């Protein structure tokens, strides 16, 4: 088309559009948009190089349209618990295989968000999608492909190993982020919720025999772990009771040892006191015995008789009685009263003179 023809066409278009009314469009609080002008490129048609921001109001001519993208967090989910026990229902799971060949169905939840980067949004609208529905479809297909790729790297037993399973989940997230970030699509999370080993048969039914065996093993393992936990709890309780009993026993032993020490201390003190008392008694007894022995020796000698007489004389001389009666009848138990003059008795015994001599001697001394 030459320049003259372009000018004629442009003039016709302008004339025909003079009677057309435009309208205003306001963006929502989470919406971004890109204007698309439905005109030839030489008339300024095509995708705008600017984006319409959230909450902004824009005027649109009849030949204008906009591609809107909601920036709210979106989610995609596979694996519905509804009818999960019905073998005739092939539920909406992501199907893949473990590395060792077992078929596995995965329940997965993906969360993503479209961010308001101008260049990335324009690239998104030009290359892959112009609506949220189109973006959702792209994310869904890429997610399935990456889930199958990276979860296929796990052996059957690794699906039961949380670390291995979450490592695979992380690889899926990084792969999706790498593919979609250039379009302003941010993958927020990839969450592997459930896995089950099952396969769809030719007649459309689902064979879950292998998974049921796994469930039985898991149930048995869980019961075993529960019993082990119960045994550990009982052992811990018994150990606690044993420790309490040991503490109580040790307390009683310490108390008994304390009582024993106190009793021994009291016993030792009592024994020492009695021992000292016995020593004193022994010393006193020995002293008295020695005195008696001395008296016996004194009385056993020649002067013993004189000493006795002297003592008798002292007693009689100090006594007010003038007469004493002594003796019993022969062959009878009856007492016979015989009066004897005490002075005469003393003279007879020769004690009075001896006593007087003794008194004189004492006075002279």
Cβ pair 110, 189 in contact under 8 A:
yes
- Mean predicted confidence (pLDDT) in 218-244: 84
- Mean predicted confidence (pLDDT) in 231-260: 87
Question: Which of these ranges, 11-25, 141-155, 291-305, has the smallest mean pLDDT?
Answer: 11-25
Judged against a pLDDT cut of 70, whether residue 13 lies above it is answered with no
Q: pLDDT tens across 314-345, in order?
A: 666 666 655 555 555 555 555 454 555 656 65
CA distances to 214, 225, 326 from 219, rounded to whole Å, are 8, 10, 123
Judged against a pLDDT cut of 80, whether residue 93 lies above it is answered with yes
| 19 pLDDT tier (thresholds 50, 70, 90) | very low
Polymer length in residues for the chain: 365
| 15 pLDDT tier (thresholds 50, 70, 90) | very low
- Is residue 30 classed as helix, strand or coil in its secondary structure? coil
In whole angstroms, give the CA distance from residue 138 to residue 123.
14
Per-residue confidence (pLDDT) for residue 11, from 0 to 100: 47
Judged against a pLDDT cut of 80, whether residue 143 lies above it is answered with yes
Does 246 or 2 have the greater pLDDT score?
246
CA distances to 242, 280, 325, 340 from 311, rounded to whole Å, are 85, 32, 19, 19
| 87 pLDDT tier (thresholds 50, 70, 90) | very low
29: Cβ–Cβ under 8 A, 6 or more apart, which residues? 54, 55
In whole angstroms, give the CA distance from residue 318 to residue 353.
16
- Mean predicted confidence (pLDDT) in 142-168: 89
The helix-helix angle for 342-349 and 303-318 (nearest 10°) equals 160
In whole angstroms, give the CA distance from residue 85 to residue 37.
53
80: Cβ–Cβ under 8 A, 6 or more apart, which residues? 91, 92
Q: Residue 136 CB: number of other CB atoms within 10 A?
A: 15
Cβ pair 93, 78 in contact under 8 A:
yes
Judged against a pLDDT cut of 60, whether residue 110 lies above it is answered with yes
In whole angstroms, give the CA distance from residue 167 to residue 97.
17
pTM to 2 decimal places: 0.51
Percentage of residues in the chain having pLDDT higher than 70:
65
Nearest residue to 356 (alpha-carbon basis) of 348, 347, 281, 204: 347
Average pLDDT value over all residues in the chain = 76
| 206 pLDDT tier (thresholds 50, 70, 90) | low
Write the Ramachandran bin of 215: left for phi over 0, alpha for psi from -120 to 50, otherwise beta: alpha
In whole angstroms, give the CA distance from residue 52 to residue 35.
8
Q: Could you give the angle at the alpha carbon of 37 between the alpha carbons of 34 and 41, nearest 5°?
A: 120
What are the strands, taking DSSP E only, across 159-274? 185-196, 199-200, 206-207
Judged against a pLDDT cut of 60, whether residue 352 lies above it is answered with no
In whole angstroms, give the CA distance from residue 251 to residue 263.
18
Judged against a pLDDT cut of 80, whether residue 21 lies above it is answered with no
Q: pLDDT tens across 42-77, in order?
A: 776 667 778 778 777 887 778 888 888 888 999 999
What are the strands, taking DSSP E only, across 74-228? 74-78, 94-97, 103-114, 185-196, 199-200, 206-207
Judged against a pLDDT cut of 50, whether residue 304 lies above it is answered with yes
Q: Which long-range contacts (CB under 8 A, 24 or more apart) does 45-52 make?
A: 47/122, 47/125, 47/126, 49/122, 50/118, 51/116, 51/118, 51/121, 51/122, 52/27
């Amino acid at each position: 088309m030459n320049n003259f023809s372009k000018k004629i066409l442009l003039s016709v278009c302008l004339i025909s559009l003079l009677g057309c009314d435009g309208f205003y469009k306001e963006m929502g609080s989470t919406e971004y948009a890109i204007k698309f002008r439905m005109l030839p490129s030489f008339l300024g048609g095509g995708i705008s190089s600017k984006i319409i921001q959230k909450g902004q109001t824009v005027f649109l001519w009849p030949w204008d349209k906009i591609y809107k993208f909601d920036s709210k967090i979106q989610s995609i989910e596979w694996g519905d618990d509804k009818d999960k026990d019905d073998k005739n229902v092939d539920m909406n799971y992501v199907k893949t295989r473990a590395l060792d060949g077992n078929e596995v169905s995965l329940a997965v939840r993906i969360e993503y968000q479209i961010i308001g980067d101008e260049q990335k949004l324009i690239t998104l609208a030009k290359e892959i999608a112009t609506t949220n529905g189109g973006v959702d479809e792209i994310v869904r297909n890429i997610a399935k492909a990456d889930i199958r790729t990276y979860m296929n790297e796990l052996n059957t037993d690794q699906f039961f190993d949380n670390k291995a399973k979450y490592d695979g989940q992380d690889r899926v997230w990084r792969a999706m982020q790498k593919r979609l970030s250039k379009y302003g699509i941010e993958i927020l999370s990839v969450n592997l919720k459930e896995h089950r080993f099952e396969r769809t048969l030719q007649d459309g039914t689902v064979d879950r025999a292998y998974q049921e065996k796994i469930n039985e093993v898991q149930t048995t393992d869980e019961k075993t772990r529960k019993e082990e936990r119960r045994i550990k709890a009982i052992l811990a309780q018994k150990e606690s009771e044993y420790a309490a009993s040991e503490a109580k026993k040790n307390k009683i032993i310490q108390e008994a040892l304390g009582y024993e020490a106190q009793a021994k201390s009291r016993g030792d003190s009592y024994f020492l006191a009695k021992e000292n008392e016995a020593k004193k008694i022994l010393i006193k007894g020995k002293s008295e015995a020695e005195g008696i022995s001395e008296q016996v020796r004194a009385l056993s000698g020649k002067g013993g008789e004189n000493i006795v007489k002297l003592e008798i004389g002292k007693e009689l001389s100090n006594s007010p009685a003038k007469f004493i009666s002594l003796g019993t009848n022969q062959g009878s138990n009856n007492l016979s009263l015989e009066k004897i003059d005490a002075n005469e008795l003393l003279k007879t015994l020769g004690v009075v003179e001896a006593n007087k001599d003794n008194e004189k001697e004492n006075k002279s001394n």
